[in-house]
Structures are given as structure tokens and as C-alpha cells.
């Protein structure tokens, strides 16, 4: 196993290949990936002396939960507030150790080992399930943890033939240009996909926050961060952040809609905000029925309710779902609604009769 000093240079030589391995692992069967990584974790950590390494404690800054702060501070004979002042810093992600190397790292390893934070206990996360959802962090940890580095090397041997074929196939994708930030389009798309697949909204916030820090003037990144706050149920922060964006880009519907999502989620509505430009809000009423009617009367064939719904989405902020729209259309005899097999998008709607003089 490499020493921490040897790790940086060794990682630089395989970094590109490790990112490719990540892309390869993403398309493998998730249980199979968990099984092999968990097994390698057990084999490689058996008998390994982490105290002699301690590289994670020197380079990674762990997050500490409130309940852990209470335990650690009481063991150290401090009250939680004094502990926070002395050892922690408050960040977007919560409280974190304020220094690198960690001030709890002593000559014989962690001085609070028995009650160290969960984040430290779990590191490097190779014993966990859902490994495919952690691959970005694992690749980054190859330059920190010699065991993770070795796990990646052994994975390359384990999947030798399949990985070689995958690498050859990837050359066909060389038309994906790398951006000047070192990420390529494919990588960025994949990273986002990973957070959505795992429903890791906190991870999505962190990822998008980093992008905004990198590109502070990029409006697309800014509004996607606002939407991520909403997905992560950080409604207060979302409203504050998005309202500021709304003042700068008052007519942007994406910002308006994310702001409305946050307001509705906390039981408020659009009246809670002094809009610079009022959003168009669609509710289950005659305005929506008339919009559907005017759209359908120009169509010769029935349309799926789902298509009609998509059209409404492009008109404004929709406060109802497709099933509610079906019920509304059923209630108006201007429409003929034919149910398919029960799924809303397979319901068809058309004008039942075009009144004369219209
Ligand atoms: S709390 Fe202990 S295990 Fe965690 S980083 Fe600090 S020294 Fe390492
Ligand atoms: S977990 Fe990895 S980086 Fe941390 S001490 Fe053990 S081998 Fe070193």
C-alpha cells in the first residue's frame, strides 16, 4: 500500500483513468458494485494501521452534527457553545472542524476516537451500500486514502476485460469538448444525474453551490442553486436567495416558479412576496378551462391530457396535477374526455362540440 506522501503523485498518473472507471461503474449492476467494493474494503483494512496514516484527519474536514457536538463537548468538559467557538466553524453544510489537520488528531491518532463524529467513522465510505452514488467522492478520495486508491486499482483488475472494452468505446465520445473549468459536459450531466438518482438533494446543493462559487456571474448556475435549495427543503434559504435573484431578473419564469414552489411548500402563496414582475399562476378555474378550450378547438385530433398539461406548464406556474386537470375537464361539457387504461397521460381530450358562432 502506498504511503500518503506517495499518493499525490501516484494519483496524478491514474486520475483520468479513475474518472473513466467511475463512468464504467455507473453502468454496472449496483449490488455487484457494492459487493466487490465492500469486500475489498474488508480485505484491505484488515490489519491496516490507520493511526500510522491518519491522512484523512490531516486533509479532510468532517461535518459534526449537533447531537455529536453535545457528546464531544461534554467529554471534553466544555459547554457546547465554547466547543463550537474553539473547534468548529458554521458552514452551508452545518458545523465543521475549523482546522486542518484536525485539532483532535494526536500522536496516537484521534484523541476522541470513542466518540468521534459519524462522518469520521464512516470515512472513506467504502463499507456502505449504494457505492455508485458516491463515486465522485471516492475518486477524489483516491488522492487522500491509500486504501481507496488501492480499491480502485483492484477494481481495474477485477473488471479488466470489460473496462478495456469500455475505454475503447469512450474514444467514440471524444467530441465532448472539455470546458475551461476542467469539467466536460458529459461529466457535469452525469454528476447531476447521480444526485437525482440517489435523491441526494444535500449533495446537489453542495455541487451547485460550488459551481456558483466558480462562476459567480452565471445566472443559469444561480437559478439552479435556488431550485436545489427547494428540493433540499431549505425553504427559508431558497426564498431569500431566489427573491434576490428575482429582483435582478424579474421576468425570469424559472426563478419565479422555484420561488413559488418554496412559498407553497411552507403554506404561503404568491401574496407573501412583493413581485417586481407578477408570475402567471394557473389554478383550477375557468381561465384554465378556456385556455384548454382555445387550444383544443384548433386541433383536428384528440390530444392526451398530458400534452395539454405540458402546454399549460409553458404558460405559467401550474398549481395542480394531471389527475386534477382530468377531473376539471370532465366537469365541463365542452370537452370529451376518454380514459385510457387509467394512467393520466393516456387520457385523451377533444372538443365535444364546437358551438355555433364561435
Ligand atoms: S475527529 Fe478524530 S477521526 Fe475525526 S478528523 Fe479529527 S482526529 Fe480524525
Ligand atoms: S481511512 Fe484511509 S486516509 Fe484515513 S487513516 Fe485510514 S487509510 Fe489513512
Mean pLDDT of the chain: 88
* Amino acid 353: pLDDT: 67
For the CA of 123, the nearest ligand:
2
Over range 196-203, report the average pLDDT: 86
Q: Which of 131-135, 137-141, 169-173, 237-241 has the weakest average pLDDT? A: 169-173
* Amino acid 199: pLDDT: 86
Residue with the smallest CA separation from ligand 2 atom 3 is 145
For the CA of 99, the nearest ligand:
1
Cβ atoms of 8 and 55 within 8 Å: the answer is no
* Amino acid 258: pLDDT: 96
Share of the chain above pLDDT 70, in %: 92
* Amino acid 357: pLDDT: 46
* Amino acid 233: pLDDT: 94
The 10s digit of each residue's pLDDT in 209-220 is 988 988 888 999
In the chain, the N- to C-terminal Cα span, in Å, equals: 81
**Three-class SS of residue 66?**
helix
Cβ atoms of 146 and 4 within 8 Å: the answer is yes
256 CB within 6 A, ligand 2? no
Instruction: Evaluate if residue 344 carries a pLDDT over 70.
Output: no
How many angstroms separate the alpha carbon of residue 53 from the centre of ligand 2?
A: 6
62 CB within 6 A, ligand 2? no
User: Measured between alpha carbons, how far is 283 from 325 in angstroms, rounded to an integer?
Assistant: 10
Residue with the smallest CA separation from ligand 1 atom 5 is 57
Q: What is the grid cell recorded at 201?
A: 438533494
The 10s digit of each residue's pLDDT in 219-252 is 999 999 999 999 999 999 999 999 999 999 999 9
Cα 117 from chain centroid (whole Å): 23
The 10s digit of each residue's pLDDT in 41-89 is 999 999 889 999 999 999 999 999 999 999 999 999 999 999 999 999 9
How many residues can be counted in the chain? 358
User: Measured between alpha carbons, how far is 269 from 273 in angstroms, rounded to an integer?
Assistant: 8
**Nearest-atom index, ligand 2, CA of 148:** 2
Cβ atoms of 301 and 294 within 8 Å: the answer is no
Predicted confidence band at 123 (pLDDT cuts at 50, 70, 90)? very high
* Amino acid 91: pLDDT: 83
**Nearest-atom index, ligand 1, CA of 105:** 7
- The H or E element spanning position 192 is helix 185-198
The model's pTM: 0.57
Q: Which residues contact 334 (CB under 8 A, 6 or more apart)?
A: 289, 293, 351, 352, 353, 355
Instruction: Evaluate if residue 355 carries a pLDDT over 60.
Output: no
* Amino acid 172: pLDDT: 58
* Amino acid 356: pLDDT: 45
* Amino acid 188: pLDDT: 72
Predicted confidence band at 341 (pLDDT cuts at 50, 70, 90)? low
By C-alpha distance, which of 331, 298, 292 is closest to 315?
292
**Three-class SS of residue 313?**
helix
Predicted confidence band at 5 (pLDDT cuts at 50, 70, 90)? confident
Residues paired with 178 in a beta bridge: 184
50 CB within 6 A, ligand 2? yes
DSSP labels, 74-136: HHTT--HHHHHHHHEEEETTEEEESSSS-TTEETTEETTGGG--HHHHHTT--SSS-GGGGHH
Q: 365541463: which residue's cell? A: 332
* Amino acid 187: pLDDT: 66
Amino acid at each position: 500500500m502506498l504511503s500518503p506522501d506517495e499518493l499525490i503523485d501516484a494519483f496524478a498518473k491514474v486520475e483520468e483513468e479513475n474518472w473513466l472507471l467511475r463512468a464504467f461503474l455507473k453502468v454496472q449492476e449496483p449490488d455487484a458494485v457494492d459487493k466487490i467494493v465492500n469486500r475489498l474494503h474488508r480485505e484491505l483494512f484488515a490489519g491496516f494501521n490507520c493511526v500510522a496514516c491518519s491522512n484523512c484527519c490531516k486533509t479532510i474536514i468532517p461535518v459534526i452534527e449537533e447531537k455529536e457536538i453535545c457528546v464531544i463537548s461534554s467529554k471534553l468538559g466544555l459547554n457546547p457553545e465554547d466547543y463550537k467557538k474553539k473547534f468548529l466553524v458554521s458552514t452551508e453544510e452545518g458545523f465543521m472542524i475549523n482546522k486542518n489537520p484536525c485539532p483532535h488528531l494526536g500522536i496516537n491518532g484521534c484523541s476522541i476516537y470513542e466518540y468521534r463524529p459519524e462522518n469520521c467513522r464512516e470515512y472513506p465510505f467504502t463499507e456502505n451500500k449504494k457505492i455508485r452514488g458516491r463515486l465522485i467522492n471516492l475518486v477524489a478520495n483516491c488522492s487522500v486514502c491509500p486504501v481507496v486508491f488501492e480499491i480502485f486499482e483492484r477494481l481495474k483488475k477485477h473488471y479488466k476485460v470489460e473496462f478495456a472494452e469500455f475505454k475503447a468505446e469512450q474514444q467514440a465520445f471524444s467530441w465532448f469538448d472539455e470546458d475551461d473549468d476542467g469539467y466536460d459536459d458529459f461529466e457535469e450531466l452525469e454528476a447531476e444525474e447521480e444526485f437525482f438518482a440517489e435523491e441526494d438533494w444535500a449533495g446537489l446543493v453542495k455541487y451547485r453551490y460550488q459551481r456558483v462559487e466558480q462562476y459567480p456571474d452565471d445566472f443559469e448556475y444561480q437559478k439552479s442553486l435556488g431550485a436545489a435549495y427547494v428540493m433540499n427543503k431549505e425553504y427559508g434559504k431558497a426564498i431569500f436567495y431566489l427573491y434576490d435573484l428575482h429582483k435582478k431578473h424579474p421576468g425570469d419564469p424559472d426563478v419565479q416558479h422555484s420561488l413559488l414552489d418554496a412559498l407553497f411548500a411552507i403554506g404561503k402563496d404568491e401574496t407573501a412576496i412583493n413581485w417586481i414582475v407578477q408570475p402567471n399562476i394557473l389554478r383550477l378555474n375557468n381561465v384554465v378551462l378556456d385556455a384548454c378550450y382555445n387550444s383544443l378547438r384548433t386541433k383536428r385530433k384528440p390530444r392526451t391530457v398530458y400534452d395539454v398539461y405540458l402546454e399549460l406548464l409553458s404558460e405559467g406556474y401550474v398549481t395542480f396535477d394531471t389527475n386534477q386537470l382530468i377531473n376539471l375537464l370532465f366537469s365541463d361539457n365542452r370537452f370529451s374526455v376518454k380514459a385510457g387504461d387509467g394512467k393520466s397521460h393516456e387520457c385523451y381530450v377533444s372538443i365535444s362540440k364546437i358551438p355555433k358562432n364561435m
